[in-house]
Amino acid sequence: MRGMLSPSLMCADMLNLQRELETLDSLSVDYVHLDFMDNKFVPNITLDASLIKAVKPVLKNMKRDIHIMAYAPQQYFERMDIGEGDIVSVHYEACDDLHDVLAEISARGAKAFIAISPDTSVDVIYEYIAEIDGILVMTVYPGFAGQPIVEGSFEKIKAVRELIDKSGRELILEVDGHVSWDLCAKMREYGADLFVAGSSSVYQKGLDLGDAVKKMTELIK
Ligand code: DX5
Ligand code: ZN
């Protein structure tokens, strides 16, 4: 599977989101990463559900890559207008009834991903392997941009890649957190397919977004 880019909108210029989205969309970027936080599962609030819904009609080429860092994430699906073409990542650690949550995402025609935080073992995925379209490996603790990569992240990526290959299913391995200029190629080598690019790459201060996207696309292809 070719390497795909998903710039993290929470790292963009908050006062010019429409312009940021249109720029990304014109560059034929694969996905835009939309972080939703409930201030309970993680101690932060970022993009809200109505903004995540409002993004949908603006996108001509890009698809939504929605990362829900919230308990009982299914309560937000309607408000976000979850549907065909979306990736929706829900946290293993935040769902009591993960089978039902994954089934609801699929029933809406979206791709269902399990997100696992750094302290969660890869083994938890086995039970859901037949019900998912991908796995979001958090390489930082969820909740904030600009953090350093967590020790052991590469071994985690490798272990998830082995799990996917053993399953025989064409699942997408997404990495999120400190996907930096100097680490993204190694993440690709270890088996990542989809790269959330934030403050340590395309949204690094002072860079031209278009040039940065082109450079990152080269590094992960
Ligand atoms: C953090 C979010 C990430 C974040 C990545 O909880 O899930 O998407 O925006 O930001 P960087 O790339 O700066 O770690
Ligand atoms: Zn994220």
What confidence tens digit (pLDDT) does each residue in 77-98 have? 999 999 999 999 999 999 999 9
Query: What is the tens place of the pLDDT at every residue in 200-215?
Result: 999 999 999 999 999 9
Q: Is 65 a catalytic residue?
A: no
Question: Which positions ≥6 away from 5 have C-beta within 8 Å?
Answer: 29, 30, 31, 194, 195, 197, 202, 213, 216, 217, 220
Packing angle of the helix pair 17-26, 209-220 (nearest 10 deg): 50
Query: What is the tens place of the pLDDT at every residue in 124-147?
Result: 999 999 999 999 999 999 999 999
Q: Is 176 a catalytic residue?
A: yes
Taking the centre of ligand 1 as the mean of its atom positions, its distance from the CA of residue 8, in whole angstroms, is 7
Residue 61 confidence (pLDDT)? 96
Residue 53 confidence (pLDDT)? 98
Query: What is the tens place of the pLDDT at every residue in 20-57?
Result: 999 999 998 999 999 999 999 999 999 999 999 999 99
- Number of C-alpha atoms within 13 angstroms, CB side, residue 155? 6
Q: Summarize the confidence of residues 108-115 as an average pLDDT.
A: 98
Q: Summarize the confidence of residues 89-115 as an average pLDDT.
A: 98
Q: Which atom of ligand 1 is nearest to the CA of 178?
A: 14
Taking the centre of ligand 2 as the mean of its atom positions, its distance from the CA of residue 8, in whole angstroms, is 7
Residue 142 confidence (pLDDT)? 98
Structure tokens at 192: 């990542």
Residue 28 confidence (pLDDT)? 85
Q: Summarize the confidence of residues 4-9 as an average pLDDT.
A: 98
Average pLDDT of the residues of the chain:
97
Query: Ligand 1: does its nearest atom lie under 6 Å from the Cβ of 8?
Result: yes
DSSP string of 60-127, one letter each residue: SS-EEEEEEESSSGGGGHHHHT--TT-EEEEEGGG-SSHHHHHHHHHHTTPEEEEEE-TTS-GGGGGG
**How far is the C-alpha of 210 from the C-alpha of 213, rounded, in Å?**
5
What DSSP designation does 202 have? Answer: T
